[in-house]
Amino acid sequence: MGDRHVTQQSIFTLLGKLDDPDADLRYMSLNDLFNILNSPNSSFLSGDERSASKLADGLLKALDDQHGDVQNQALKCLGPLALRLPFNALMPLLEKLTNLTSSQTLDTSVPNTALRTIVDTLPRPQAGQPATPSAVTAYNAVSKVLIPRLVGPTQSSSGRRGSVVRGMLEKDPSKGFSSDAIDVLIKVVTCFGPLLQEHELVALTEPVMAIIHNDTAGTVVTKRALAGISGLVLFYSDSQLNAFVKRLADTLASPDISTVHRRHLIAAIGTIARSAPAKFGPHLNSLVPFVFSAVGEEGVTAN
């Protein structure tokens, strides 16, 4: 109990120093917090929601620090903190970070990086093994908070009637699509794909395909969307994959499809075929004719 009290007091003292005007002191305080979080002495946090929540709030504030080194050190702390957080403290942290991704003042790559860091650190299911209770608990937090915010729109936590928050993967009128948000999705699928429910896979597929279908999406964000859909397909059920392939074929068969749109869909076919050959291979016969047709139209063989 004595060690716990000393560690708790050290954490609170270090959190107080995060408001110091000296950036070096803020950085060193975060470095000390990082060392504490990686030591066995911080294990008490998993049963102390109040202390864990205060620590999470302090790190969130440090993410908005004007000094990059301080920001980066706060990001480093979030990984080991995620392993210590009680379930009831993990969900609010994820929610606050998702809210920061729509900030008009903060560099939104910071909260997106924080989300990837946390998801990557959480216990995850292992291939060929039943999911552990800790992995299921981590998935439940991601499922209840992060997946709905990725997909959106969701009800605003401000409490105003009818107020909704745009999904992280939806197009921002001023900034366009976010490749950082797609990277968060990719991390979620990579870490928790085996536990994702079919309705979650469907919900996550829609905004990713909306980017691939969008003629005005930039090259970088389209490439990330292609990586996202190739990861999602790995966990489709047979019926879901059949429906996905049919939609691809129907869209490619449309006489109104633009050249850019067709190119994006053909790129999706190629990316998925490389990432999931055994799963996707049997469906290629229904899609390959559209690829050959496009190659012929573009005159690639004319060289």
pLDDT digits (tens, 9 = 90+) for 212-269: 999 889 999 999 999 999 999 999 999 999 999 999 999 999 988 998 999 999 999 9
Element (H, E) at 154: strand 154-155
What are the phi and psi torsion angles at 176 (to 5°)?
A: 80, -160
Q: pTM of the prediction?
A: 0.89
The CATH architecture assigned to 1-85 reads: Alpha Horseshoe (1.25)
- Rounded to an integer, the average pLDDT of 1-13 is 84
Residue 203, Cβ density class (10 Å: 0-12 exposed, 13-18 middle, ≥19 buried): middle
pLDDT of 132 above 60: yes
The answer on pLDDT for 295 being more than 60 is: yes
Strand, coil or helix: what is 164? Answer: strand
Would you say 185 and 150 are in contact if contact means Cβ atoms under 8 Å apart? Answer: yes
Nearest 5°: phi and psi at 33?
-65, -40
C-alpha span between 214 and 216 (Å, rounded) = 5
Tell me how far apart the 2 most distant CA atoms of the chain are, in Å. Answer: 80
Q: Which residues contact 178 (CB under 8 A, 6 or more apart)?
A: 101, 108, 112, 168, 169, 172, 221
Arithmetic mean of pLDDT over the chain: 90
Distances 80 to 42, 63, 114 between C-alpha atoms, Å:
10, 16, 12
Q: Is pLDDT of 77 > 90?
A: yes
